[in-house]
Chains A and B, each alone.
Chain A
């Protein structure tokens, strides 16, 4: 009794911790944790004629087994995977390439290029969508003229309107917009590599290619891994570009439907379709789980094996 009292006297309650953590924690709890938990709970209910009722996992079962919902869900998921694959295959390698080029000491006007390439990332998606629709428009667009002038005119098509090419075209637009992010992150890491390591490899007789693959690439792998995980999360939450260009019905024939647009239609409804907050919450929960599982797999299998170097 005496002892504990004495320790209390010796260690006063750490008020300062709470004072500093409090505001951030409060905001985080109210605007992030609470809505997330509420969504998870909401997805276990069903609302009919203003009465909500606990139904367990029924919404999820409907979502993955009922033909009306499941075909749309799997379609959106598969489109989303393609969308992600495009970004991984194009956006990140191009970002890496640009970063390497930018960090080359021989390149003049490097900071101008950097700013220009990063510019689209800062623009609103609505503007990007609008501008690209105009560029690609078969009526007013300049892309057809451009293709004719380089002799490829016969390959021009209404890419954004065709079932086979709409998603790919949108992926390209998105890659074009966001390529600045991997570029900047990798560029920053490249600048951090000490010159003496590079100099040492040159002295040892390594060609620039060898220097890149054996020295630089291993050193920037952690950043590439981080860029990949950011791409994954961003792609599975993607919504704005599709909504701005193709609308919530993500045509033609749902070929550009992502989980985000599918969620939007389910939760808010569309035209004559009444929205369902509980079914929408179920879709949102599944999106959350998909992202969670993806990130966890990544952490377990990749992140742990990557070696980090301290300079």
Chain B
């Protein structure tokens, strides 16, 4: 450009102005977003960024994701080298807390957008004492059960609300049809813990009360609530498919989308897969409660947050963007673009996907909590989350009793966690 300018002296002034403008545009705020959600690149460029630019055309956003498995280490390296983007997508709990403690993440206390979030939603990105907030909650995933509506109609079943009804439904599917009643395997182990234990557990340990109890040491994993959770898991065994011990997560998904299984213990992220692959209608119900009229609890697990790089030169612009992300408008855009990932703000958002709509409606009827092993409790050796995978899979396989599972995990926790000693 400079060459062009000097070659045409008569336009020098105009040229100068153009250069100045170009320079200004460059100095103006382009925010780079670090993320592991490579799947969402199109949603950002086609939906989220244009919507934001309608309000703030002066702030440019560039979404630059890294593959999920590389994200943590790549981000760490970039932050150390000072080349990381302005906005950082935050993993929940310890991974981000470590970044904050090392001084890489900006403290967000006082950010206006934060007022629109509940404490449960914010809990994944605060310091242990609850004082300092370092990321804005962005999305969560909810656990429950997804069922095949056609099979339910065929066998004349109603959606179970209590556990008795749940097991009656399972027994009826098993005796009256060749469908797999409950579609889950234990080969990968994490389903047993995540779709099993963390899915039905909150009803037993009363959600947040029980989770906080474990953290402050007033509750133990050997308490009745936890033993009962594993007891219910043990009761699943006869209703699982043949050879469920070798059934992998992808097998379970395929079994359901092929219409060969009736009920699928789910995470809401499965909705996207099922929408693409299943040619029947499916619905969802929350984990059944013990007795009719009991308060229900759901696992509404915080999964994605947004923070600001402490070394960013555009913190003000980044804060404007984060505040916009807290708005109802963003919530609605995001929830509809990625069904199964739910915005965490308190605004009511209209979701078009019917299954996702059901999932998010539970927030009104039930109390939300997050997976109990994620905050603080999986920092030591032995690692509680790994233990939960192992014992939950074993309880379902029938190679371990619920009491043994409780004793083993509690002993593990007592070895390193002060409040439990």
Q: A residues bordering B, Cβ < 8 Å?
A: 50, 68-69, 133, 136-140, 157-163, 246-247, 249, 251-254, 265, 270-274
Contact = CB atoms under 8 A, between A and B. Distances in A.
A139 B399 contact: no
B189 interface: yes
B71 to A, nearest CB: 14
Nearest to B98: A274
A138 B247 contact: yes
A136 B246 contact: yes
B44 interface: no
Given A68-B381, A160-B187, A272-B378, A133 B248 contact: yes
B386 A137 contact: no
Interface of B: 93-94, 102, 185-190, 241-248, 251, 255, 373-374, 378-379, 381-386, 389-390, 393-394, 397, 399-400, 412, 415
B385 A158 contact: no
8 contacts: A133-B248, A140-B251, A161-B187, A161-B245, A162-B245, A254-B390, A271-B389, A273-B386
A206 B275 CA distance: 72
A139 to B, nearest CB: 6
A69 B381 contact: yes
A305 B38 CA distance: 59
A271 B374 CA distance: 10
Given A140-B251, A161-B186, A271 B386 contact: yes
B389 A253 contact: no
A161 B390 contact: no
B241 A139 contact: yes
A163 B189 contact: no
B394 A249 contact: no
Contact of B94 (A50, A68, A251, A274): A274
Contacts of A138: 241-244, 246-247
B243 A157 contact: yes
Given A140-B251, A252-B189, A253-B400, 17 more contacts: A68-B381, A68-B412, A137-B243, A137-B251, A138-B247, A157-B243, A158-B244, A159-B246, A160-B245, A161-B185, A161-B247, A271-B383, A272-B94, A272-B384, A273-B378, A273-B385, A273-B386
A272 B374 contact: yes
A159 B245 CA distance: 8
Nearest to A246: B187
Most chain A CB inside 10 Å of its own CB: which residue of B94, B399, B400:
B399
A68 B244 contact: no
Most chain B CB inside 10 Å of its own CB: which residue of A133, A160, A252:
A252
Contact of B385 (A69, A140, A253, A272): A272
A226 B242 CA distance: 44
A247 B382 CA distance: 18
A253 B386 contact: no
Contact of B394 (A50, A133, A252): A252
Contacts of B399: 163, 252-253
A274 B95 CA distance: 9
A253 B373 contact: no
Contacts of A253: 390, 393-394, 399-400
